[in-house]
Amino acid sequence: MTTRHPLVALDRRHVWHPFTQERTASDPIPISHARGTVLHTTDGREYLDLISSWWVITHGHGHPAIAQAIGEQAKRLEQVIFAGFTHEPAVRLAEGLIARLPEGLNRVFYSDNGSTSVEVALKMSCQYWQNRGEARKRFLAFEGGYHGDTVGAMSMGQTSGFFDAFRNMLFPVDTLPYPTTWEGDERIEQKEKASLAAVAEYLSRHGSACAAVLLEPLIQGAGGMRMCRPGYLAKLAALVKEAGVLLIFDEVMTGFGRTGALFACEKAGVIPDIICLSKGLTAGFMPLSATVCQERIYEAFLGEGFDRAFTHGHSFTANPLGCAAAVASLALFETEKTLQRVARIEEIHRQRLAALSRFPKARQRRVTGVVAALDVAAGDPGYQSKVGPWLKHFFLEQGLLLRPLGNVVYLLPPYCITEAELHRAWDGVEAALKQVA
Ligand code: PLP
């Protein structure tokens, strides 16, 4: 019998972990430090972080430029109230984001995490219409979408399957099918057509009552790395804009290079009215988010009275340490030619996924940018598929941190991953497929 590390024993006594059945879960793995792609445990083991620690790490763990930016900022100003005050990292970050986002997205509202960035977008669109004298109450989302764990975000992600316990708390949301696709999908044209027809029909009936349409562009993350085509997004955006409804892109996961461009909306040639950013914003160093909107939305909140103002804010809004990390991270995308690294990762993903065609259990193989995914054929597909925990354990035994979403195995590595490390990861996936066969 192995003895528990004292830290783990103490953890088990006092700590409650997210998305975990505490009774049946294995002990958490104590990590002492991390560099690049590698997580080091307190007892000297190593894991390759192939999911960028829940999709937040971009350039790699412990990047010295970001650590330095945070350290320097901490010595100057760690935090200040952001109502009535401002500071250089927040202003520079807003400037940097706007310079890189598609034209028109030019007002930045800061909050703390992905869920709050979505809450902000929802509340912003609700009050936008109210300030214009229109009470629009409906929201449209897509089946399988996930937008976070706060009540508004959960409401919009009701069909993700994660929130049945909270059904009584959620507000009603309209949902329509999302045309997901994969290599060799022969029905994609049909699925896209059906989805667009459903959106057009919905907008013609409810457009004037609908405040906003929310979706994860190109990849629905937590729903199972479900991918759609950029051309579909462009057609969808045209319909939404024509109907005069606000379009919100939740780029909490897809932002900052994951899809091969800095933002997924660029690949689709779409300029949303509001975009939600978090996770990779600070390269994974600090919790921070930004909800960026078009100027006309901001202008609808201007007036003489407080009643038109956006009454939303958090204690740590625009935390200077987070903003300093994000400014440093943006610069690295240029100095380290990060998107070229992303392109190389995508190339290797494509080669290795193609080679999986010899495994009959490797279904629906798909790639967008650094995200590669496949469904492992299972009798009980979905997030609770029994093959999920088995696969996770199998990968950990090989020193690979992969955390399948049920029977969906995916890779989403930090951009610093070496070719050798990436091939090692794919070798692990092949070994797993041999075992499940
Ligand atoms: N939106 C998307 C697309 C996400 O993938 C997530 C988290 O995975 C969120 C929102 C919520 O972000 P957070 O966990 O930081 O609240």
Q: Quick check: CB of 324 below 6 Å from ligand 1?
A: no
Angle, helices 338-355/419-436, rounded to nearest 10 degrees = 30
Kindly tell me if the per-residue pLDDT of 102 is higher than 90. Answer: yes
What confidence tens digit (pLDDT) does each residue in 211-230 have?
A: 999 999 999 999 999 999 99
CA of 205 to the centre of ligand 1 (A): 31
Q: Quick check: CB of 216 below 6 Å from ligand 1?
A: yes
What average pLDDT score do residues 327-339 get? 98
Q: What is the pLDDT of residue 24?
A: 94
CA of 128 to the centre of ligand 1 (A): 24
Sign of the CA dihedral running 360, 362, 364, 368: negative
Alpha helix stretches (DSSP H) within 157-290: 188-206, 230-242, 264-268
What are the structure tokens assigned to 361, written together? 């259990």
Q: Quick check: CB of 222 below 6 Å from ligand 1?
A: yes
Q: What is the pLDDT of residue 437?
A: 77
For 224, the 3-state DSSP assignment is coil
Predicted confidence band of residue 3 (pLDDT cuts 50, 70, 90): confident
Question: For the chain, first and last CA: distance in Å?
Answer: 31
Kindly tell me if the per-residue pLDDT of 1 is higher than 80. Answer: no
What are the structure tokens assigned to 90, written together? 């927040």
Closest protein CA for atom 1 of ligand 1: 147
What are the structure tokens assigned to 346, written together? 């995508």
What are the structure tokens assigned to 348, written together? 């290797």
Q: Quick check: CB of 113 below 6 Å from ligand 1?
A: yes
Q: Quick check: CB of 223 below 6 Å from ligand 1?
A: no
Closest protein CA for atom 13 of ligand 1: 114
Q: Quick check: CB of 412 below 6 Å from ligand 1?
A: no
Q: Quick check: CB of 413 below 6 Å from ligand 1?
A: no
Q: For a pocket test of ligand 1, which of 115, 117, 248, 289 has the largest count of ligand atoms closer than 8 A to its C-beta?
A: 115
Q: What is the pLDDT of residue 110?
A: 98
List the one residue out of 79, 33, 69, 6 whose CA is nearest residue 314: 79
pLDDT averaged over every residue in the chain:
97
What confidence tens digit (pLDDT) does each residue in 246-294 have?
A: 999 999 999 999 999 999 999 999 999 999 999 999 999 999 999 999 9
Nearest-atom number in ligand 1 for the CA of 289 is 15
Distance CA 28, CA 15 (A): 10
What confidence tens digit (pLDDT) does each residue in 144-168 have?
A: 999 999 999 999 999 998 999 999 9
Q: Quick check: CB of 258 below 6 Å from ligand 1?
A: no
CA of 156 to the centre of ligand 1 (A): 12
Q: What is the pLDDT of residue 395?
A: 98
Q: What is the pLDDT of residue 2?
A: 67
What confidence tens digit (pLDDT) does each residue in 55-98 have?
A: 999 999 999 999 999 999 999 999 999 999 999 999 999 999 99
Distance CA 359, CA 96 (A): 45
CA of 55 to the centre of ligand 1 (A): 9
What confidence tens digit (pLDDT) does each residue in 16-49 have?
A: 999 999 999 999 999 999 999 999 999 999 999 9
What confidence tens digit (pLDDT) does each residue in 111-131 have?
A: 999 999 999 999 999 999 999
What average pLDDT score do residues 124-146 get? 97
Kindly tell me if the per-residue pLDDT of 339 is higher than 80. Answer: yes
* CB-based contact 283:36 (threshold 8 Å): no
Closest protein CA for atom 10 of ligand 1: 147
Please state the pTM of the whole predicted model.
Answer: 0.98
Q: Which long-range contacts (CB under 8 A, 24 or more apart) does 428-433 make?
A: 428/395, 428/398, 428/400, 428/402, 429/352, 429/356, 429/402, 430/355, 430/356, 430/359, 431/394, 431/398, 432/376, 432/391, 432/394, 432/395, 433/356, 433/359, 433/361, 433/362, 433/376
CA of 259 to the centre of ligand 1 (A): 16
What confidence tens digit (pLDDT) does each residue in 399-412 have?
A: 999 999 999 999 99
Q: How many helices (H) and strands (E) does the chain have?
A: 14, 16
* Beta-sheet pairing, 38-41 with 46-49: antiparallel
**In which residue are the tokens 């919790």 written?**
287
